[in-house]
Amino acid sequence: MSAVRATWLFPCVLAVVLGGVSFWLDRVSQVETEEIALNPNEPKYRIGGIHGERFDENGFIRERLHAEAAWQLPENPAVHIDKPELHLFERGEPQYQVQSAAARYHTDTRQVVFDTDVVLHQTARNGQSEGWLRTQNLTVDTVSQTARTQSAVQYRYGLSHGTAVGFEYNRGQGFLNLSSRIKATIYDPK
């Protein structure tokens, strides 16, 4: 009888011991964390000296961003950027450059709102003239590739120049709409 009891006693004792060790290891390995709410008026992070590049599927540079700093408030999808300078390329060739004193990138809509002393510069290429536009704020939709403002603008395209209040530009359609109070001097080199 003692041999029969030993054959079933050992697996039972082993199961109880392993269960106890497993329970003890589970209790020891549990880390209790306490979540601390962040101040909603202070950045949850701040990054200084930003230099980044994005490439297209063929390996050509598509975008280059330089900025003094970037930061984001807790529970806010907008990333704030100090002194951004964004360069846009097509097949590695420079197309546009936008710079301003500040900007906000909305991660949910992929729109960039450039604020204060905005300068949009178009590089001369393929027989097209160089151009630039100055305004106080500019919203760029990176998905639809449009830019717009309701503020006063000054622009120059080749020898043509003028002012307006508000504009919208659609890159895909090659369409520029100056909204109101337009004063322009148009120079046609032909």
pTM, to two decimals: 0.71
The CATH number of whichever domain residue 175 belongs to comes to: 2.60.450.10
Do residues 22 and 54 share a domain?
Answer: no
Do residues 56 and 6 share a domain?
Answer: no
Residues 70 and 79: beta-carbon distance below 8 Å: yes
Do residues 89 and 166 share a domain?
Answer: yes
Give the span between the Cα atoms of 100 and 109, in whole angstroms.
20
Q: Which of 73, 64, 69 is nearest to 50 (CA)?
A: 69
- Could you list the residue range(s) of the whole structural domain that residue 26 is in? 1-33
Do residues 9 and 98 share a domain?
Answer: no
**Residue at 38 is within a domain:** no
Do residues 14 and 104 share a domain?
Answer: no
Query: What's the total number of domains in the chain?
Result: 2
Q: Which of 148, 142, 139, 144 is nearest to 103 (CA)?
A: 139
Q: CA distances (Å), 51 to each of 113, 117, 119, in order?
A: 19, 21, 19
**Residue at 190 is within a domain:** no
Do residues 28 and 64 share a domain?
Answer: no
Copy the structure tokens of residue 172: 């895909």
Do residues 163 and 136 share a domain?
Answer: yes
Copy the structure tokens of residue 37: 């709410």
**Residue at 39 is within a domain:** no
Question: Which residue has 């951004």 as its token pair?
Answer: 84
Beta strands 85-90 and 160-170, pairing class: unpaired
Do residues 83 and 3 share a domain?
Answer: no
pLDDT digits (tens, 9 = 90+) for 135-171: 999 998 888 888 899 999 998 888 888 999 998 988 7
Instruction: List, for the chain, all residue ranges whose pLDDT scores fall below the cut of 70.
Output: 1-17, 19-21, 23-25, 27-29, 31, 189-190
Do residues 121 and 80 share a domain?
Answer: yes
Residues 149 and 138: beta-carbon distance below 8 Å: yes
Do residues 155 and 95 share a domain?
Answer: yes
Q: CA distances (Å), 96 to each of 12, 89, 120, 122, 169, in order?
A: 76, 7, 7, 5, 13
**Residue at 40 is within a domain:** no
**Residue at 13 is within a domain:** yes
Per-residue pLDDT at 10: 64
Give the span between the Cα atoms of 57 and 55, in whole angstroms.
7
Do residues 63 and 83 share a domain?
Answer: yes
> 160: which strand partners?
157
